[in-house]
Every structure is written in C-alpha cells, then in structure tokens.
C-alpha cells in the first residue's frame, strides 16, 4: 500500500513539475519604472543618558527626531532629522537620485556631557506609480559614532573650522539595499554630498580604523547633510524554455523507471 501511494505521488510530481516551471517561464512581469515614496526617520537609541530627545515621530513609535546635548553660552548642540518626507518627486528606475531625509548638526561650542553614539532608524515605503497596490517597505538602521573634538587650532587631521566634529557610520553596508518584486531585483543606493570615506587621520581622531565612512561638521555652524537615493533594477534570469523542456523529459523518464520497479509479492 505504501508503494502504491509513492507511485501516485511521484507520477503526479513528474507531470506537474515541468509544466509549472514552463508556465512560470512564460509569465514575465513588467519592470516598474516609476515610484512614489514616503520616508520616516527618528533616533531610536542614543547615549549617554544626559542627551535628551524631543519632537517624536508617531510613525516610528514616538522616537525623537531631535537630540540635544551640552551646556554653554551658545546653547546646546543638536542633531535633527526630518521626521517625514512626503509629496516628493517621482523616483525613476534607472534614473537620477532624488532627495531623502535631511540631517542637520547644529555644532555649538559647549561644555558638559556630549553625544557619543546614536541609532538612526528610517522607514522607506515605495509605491508603484502605475499600480498603488504594489508597495515595498524598507526598514534601515544606521549606527552612528560621534566625536566631539576640542576647539583647538591643531586637530591632527584636515579641518575647516577650529576643529571639526566627526560622525562615523559604523555599518556603511546599509547604504545599499535590495528587494524583489516579481521578476526583478531592485537596488536602492543611498548617499549624500560630504558622506564618504574619511582620511586615515580623521578616522584615527574618531578612534576608528582606516577607511571609515562618515562626514565632518564645522564648529559654530548649522551643518546640513541632504541624503539622496536612487533605484536600479536587474531582471531575474529564468532558464530558457528549451532547457526546461529537457528537464521535463528527464523527469518523465525517471517516472517510467519508477513504474517498472514494482515490488515482488
């Protein structure tokens, strides 16, 4: 009885498997060429305890979009990210970059406790322009190390102001992310003017190894980092119908061998 069940199941698989593959090969979905998008951002972690957060983003669990730290006559320093980017231009697959969230470091001379690290979380929701039922959500986490430098003339690294502060992105791999819709792999690439590999001396001043990625900010300035991102696509390769047909014939042959192998009484 067990043998009979196996024979029936195997025969069904032999017949249906190649037919299913051939059907999939013939049904190629179209490339999504235009997208609309919304971006939400907030700081979901930061240290030390003396840093304060404000301006919560309700779309990200009420995490703050503004961090403040330090004391002094010039007021605290702060790090501010756009809570939500809405009504943006259309994002074109294979086209140029468009604006994402903007980050501003208000770099003031301060005393007291300073920010040392922060986690910036973002949620990007893409919607196909020609079919609003097709959406894709990408949740990204940016691990940031921050160095508040002393305001001295000689920093030991290249500096525009008396001594620029240093932001280092500890997980730069998050700048490129992929997702799949139907027959295409889409790649999101994020960047910003001023964001990139820092000099060995700057990395060393931040306590990071050579080749670290980040940006620096001038003392006494409102330093803005405008992020930009683009999308590209690559079609998933599916075997040619002729190759699939050969596979199907091979499986049918295996089915014939199974039928000949009957148990002896």
- Give the model confidence (pLDDT) of 63-111 as tens digits: 999 999 999 877 799 999 999 999 888 999 999 999 999 999 999 999 8
Q: Is the pLDDT of residue 257 over 60?
A: no
CA trace torsion 249, 255, 260, 261 (10° rounding) = 140
Strand ranges in 48-97 using DSSP code E only, listed in sequence order: 52-57, 63-69, 77-81, 84-85, 91-92
- Strand partners for 122: 41, 140
- Report pLDDT for 88: 85
Report the distance separating Cα 169 and Cα 191, nearest Å: 12
Tell me how far CA of residue 196 lies from CA of 80, 165, 174, 248, in angstroms: 20, 15, 13, 51
Task: Specify the pLDDT at position 29.
Answer: 81
Dihedral over Cα of 120, 83, 85, 193: its sign: negative
Average pLDDT over the chain, rounded to an integer: 85
What distance in Å separates the CA atoms of residue 128 and residue 136, rounded to the nearest whole number? 9
Distance between CA atoms of residues 119 and 218, nearest Å: 22
Separation between Cα atoms, residue 98 and residue 90, nearest integer Å: 8
CB contact at 8 A, 230 and 97: yes
What is the length of the chain?
265
Which residue from 147, 193, 192 is spatially nearest to 168, judged by alpha carbons? Answer: 147
Residue 258 scores a pLDDT above 70:
no
For the segment 208-235, what is each residue's pLDDT rounded down to a tens digit?
999 999 999 999 999 999 999 999 999 9
Q: Look at residue 229 and give its three-state secondary structure.
A: strand
């Amino acid at each position: 009885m067990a043998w009979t069940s196996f024979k029936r199941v195997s025969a069904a698989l032999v017949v249906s498997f190649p037919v299913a593959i051939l059907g999939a090969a013939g049904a190629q979905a179209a490339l999504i060429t235009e997208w609309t998008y919304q971006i939400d951002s907030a700081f979901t972690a930061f240290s030390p305890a003396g840093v304060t957060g404000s301006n919560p983003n309700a779309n990200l669990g009420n995490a703050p979009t503004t961090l403040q730290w330090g004391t002094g006559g010039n007021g605290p320093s702060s790090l501010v990210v756009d809570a939500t980017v809405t009504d943006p231009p259309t994002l074109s697959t294979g086209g140029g970059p468009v604006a994402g969230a903007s980050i501003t470091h208000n770099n003031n001379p301060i005393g007291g406790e300073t920010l040392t690290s922060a986690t910036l979380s973002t949620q990007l929701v893409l919607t196909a322009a020609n079919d609003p039922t097709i959406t894709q959500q990408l949740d990204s986490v940016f691990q940031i190390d921050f160095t508040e430098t002393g305001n001295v003339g000689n920093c030991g690294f290249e500096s525009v102001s008396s001594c620029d502060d240093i932001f280092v992105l500890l997980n730069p791999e998050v700048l490129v992310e992929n997702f799949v819709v139907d027959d295409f792999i889409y790649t999101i690439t994020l960047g910003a003017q001023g964001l990139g590999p820092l000099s060995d001396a700057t990395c060393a001043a931040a306590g990071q190894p050579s080749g670290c990625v980040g940006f620096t900010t001038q003392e006494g300035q409102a330093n803005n980092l405008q992020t930009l991102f683009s999308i590209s696509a690559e079609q998933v390769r599916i075997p040619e119908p002729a190759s699939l047909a050969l596979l199907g014939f091979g499986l049918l042959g295996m089915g014939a061998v199974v039928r000949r192998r009957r148990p002896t009484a």
